[in-house]
Every structure is written in C-alpha cells, then in structure tokens.
Amino acid sequence: MTDLSDVAALDATDQAALVRAGEVTATELVQAAIDRAEAVNGELNAIIHPRYERALEEAAAVSGDAPFAGVPFVLKDLDGTAAGEPLHAGTRFLKDHGYVATTDSELTTRFRDAGLIVIGRTNTPELGLVTTTEPLSHGPSRNPWDPTRSTGGSSGGSAAATAAGIVPMAHAGDGGGSIRIPAAECGLVGLKPTRGRSSLGPELGEAWAGLVTRLAVTHTVRDTAAILDAVAGPGVGDPYWAPPPARPYAAEVGADPGSLRIGWVAQPPDGSFVTDPQVEAATEATATLLESLGHRVEQAYPSSFDDPGHVANFLVTYSAWVARELDHLAELVGAPLTEDGFEPGTWAIAEGGRAVTASAYLAALDGLHAMTRATVAWWEVDGFDLLLTPTIPELPPTLGQFGATPDNPLAGVFRSTPIVTFTAPFNITGQPGISLPLHQSAEGLPIGVQLVSAPAREDVLIRIAAQLEQAAPWADRRPQVWTGAR
C-alpha cells in the first residue's frame, strides 16, 4: 500500500489489519502518524514529548500477532510512566528538574504488549486537577473542532491527538471524568472502566482511594472493547481487582443487549446550574432513540444525587490526596517542594489538605462509601440497567476560563465543578461509564452523552454503545483540524 493519505480515517482495528495483511508495514504506518503530528501539532499542542525516532526503531522490529501490532499511539503525561521518558504531570516542578521515569507502569507494558507503538506523550493539566488542558508548564491544548475551545481534561492532549487523526486512539485516565470529559469535548468514545479493572501498578496500588482508573479514548466502540481486552486484569500485588468478564469484551460488540430498563436525567439534580439547551435536547434525543430500539426508558436517577453531603466529603479527601501527590513528587526528584513549581490552585488545594486530620479524612471517606452504597442500590435493588446523562452539561468551553491566580487560586476548581457533575459520582462509586459522541451542536461542536451501568458491567455498556453507534453513526464526521483526507 503506497497511498496512506486516508489512513487517519481508519480506527486502530483497521490499521492493525493492514499490517497483518502486509498491505502496509508498521514503519510506514508510524511514519504516516509522525507526519500527521508534525503537520498539526503546532496548532493543537497535543504532543509535548515526541519520541519519533524511537517509535520508528520500535516499528521496524514489529512482529507477531498482537491485536494492535504496528498501530501508532500516544501516552498521556500523567496516569503512568514509561522508563527513560520524561514525566512532568503538567507541573513546572518536574519539568524544571528534568525528571525522567525509571520504570514502566503495568499499563504501559500492556499497551506495548498489545503491539502499540508510542510516538509521544501528551499534554495534561497540572496533576489532572481541572477539566481543561491548559497547564502553565506547557501551554494549552486546542480542540480540533474549534481551536479556540478546550479539549477537556485531564486527558485533553490525548483526545486532541486522536480527534485530529494523528493516532487512532490514545492513553487516558479518569479520576473525576478525565476520560469521558475530553471524549465528549473532542467527539470520541471514552470508557471509564470499573474500579480495579486496569492496574495502576507497580508504582501505585490505588490512586485517590480508588477513584482513578485508566484506559483510552478511541474513535469506535470496537476499539474500546479491544483495548480493554488487551489491558484488563490485575497486576502483581494489586490490592483489589474487578471480576473478570464472562467472555472477551470484543464479543459484546454487535451482541443483542436485550430490552434494558434505562433511567435518564439531563438537568443537575441539585439545581445548582442549568444544562445548556442543546445538551439537554441531545440527552432527550438519545432517550428517544433508546426507546425506539426497544428499551424501557423513563426519567429517573439515584436519589442519592439529591444529597449535597458527598461534595463536602469529596473536597476533604481531594485536598488530602493532592497534598500527598506533591509530597510524592518531592520524593521522586529528591528535592523540596517550592511554591513557584506549581500553579496557585494546586498549591492552595495541597495546603488545605495538609490541615486535614487523619480522623477527618477517614470520616469523609466513610461518607463517600455511604454515598456509593446508596447510589449502587438504584441498579442492584431498584432494578435499573443503565443511567443516561449528559457527559458534560455545556458545550466545550472556550480557552482561558480556568485560570487561577494568587488572589483567586481556586478559580479553576470552581469553574470545573459543574462540568464534573455527571461524571465524578461514578468515580466515587467505582462504576463503569462511557461517553459517546452521538450529537453535534448548531455550531458543529461535539456533544457527548454518558451511559453508566452497574459495577463491573462493562459488557452491558459495550453492547448498548455498539447498538447506538450503528443506529446513529459518527464515523464520517471531521473536525476543523483534521490530518487525513476529507
């Protein structure tokens, strides 16, 4: 195959098939991705640590039948390490110290074992703490659909690279919506797996008391299923893990989901803000589509969402986690923390966390566990199969809205709060959730909708997501910044 002009339009499954069939070499596939990155990354600022020469060396050595052998990929500059590669986690502190990771995360190893060729690491907000990718350390990533708008966070660089067609899918992580929010803002599929489905080892047993999980953003449901199959399962010594599926997740793509009982909500239950009318309409249209597909759909949601107490509990634990993360960075580089190494918001959150007593932390964690039990009962006791919500309650925001200053250090956190309304509860409960790019706004911007299943039921999510993908396809949509043939 000599013409690679339209390979950007292929998902990872199809790109891997080209390599297996001998129609293209892994080297040609990776070089094409590098060429695409060099064409648009200056505008998008998605890849901040390119490793093009190493990627080509690795592509030349590709052999075997790994599911994604020779497929170009990017790793997020957070949520895991790659030995010998820079890790800045969005901070000036690690950047100024020139920190280079010494080990591979288990997930990094599994991505490589799946045959993926890493061409670089992608931009992320500082420690993934806000819902936009605009770190002071590396500057903003820009949305391929409209470069004046945010890519979401914290996997915003990965989402931008994937949405623009540089790579067919990319590493992502989610502690409050950081897979699903960038997927929604960039028109991608984003699955947050259930707690314990993917390993955080060997550097961590858990992150944020189990709220953080990791996977990828993709263009298609089948790629999401296949990459989950490739990386799922515990690592050595993990403190807990999700029960294995009855069969491979790839087998769920195209499987009949049956007639499911689905609740939906479009407005925030606490009434703290109003969902954008276009997002509300998209959510309602999805509910109507699901009903037309034979599902039993009603306006309903877990009553635990009406309790504001979980927000206070989350803020207590969140600040303590951030304080510990900063201490961990100091341990990595062997140097004391400096206030000028971090953004004002990060430093203020950590200072608050240092004032949290062990007793207060554990009490807040107990509160989050109580919220989890009350929420999961909606599925396990009340008998619902899925909850449908907006992924985010607004269109992708314009850049520049999240900046923190010494006078207002928490501005970014407060601006992020409404954006995580529908995503963060399921980091607390540990349930899997998926964002699907089913709709577009009048301006041509992506609108994502979220579906959430019972714990450990990614199989149900993949079945319903594949059904929706077939009923309302999104594969032919192209953003303003696109690296392939239109």
Across-strand partners of 435? 190, 450
Nearest to 110 by CA among 17, 219, 232: 232
**154 is an active site residue:** yes
Phi, psi of 76 (to 5 degrees): -70, 145
* Residue 84 structure tokens: 């010998």
Is the bond leading into 202 cis (omega within 30 degrees of zero)? Answer: yes
Structure tokens at 358: 């062990």
* From 158, 178, 304, 435, active-site residue: 178
Catalytic residue flag (residue 76): yes
Instruction: Determine how β-strand 386-390 pairs with β-strand 261-264.
Output: parallel
Residue of 217, 203, 192 lying closest to 89 (CA atoms): 203
Q: Any bridge partners for residue 117, and if so which?
A: 72
Active site residue 141: no
Residues 132 and 38: beta-carbon distance below 8 Å: no
Dihedral, CA of residue 88, residue 92, residue 94 and residue 99, to nearest 10: 80
Q: Which of 76, 141, 150, 199 is catalytic?
A: 76
Which residue is catalytic, options 105, 137, 154, 155? 154
Catalytic residues: 76, 154, 178
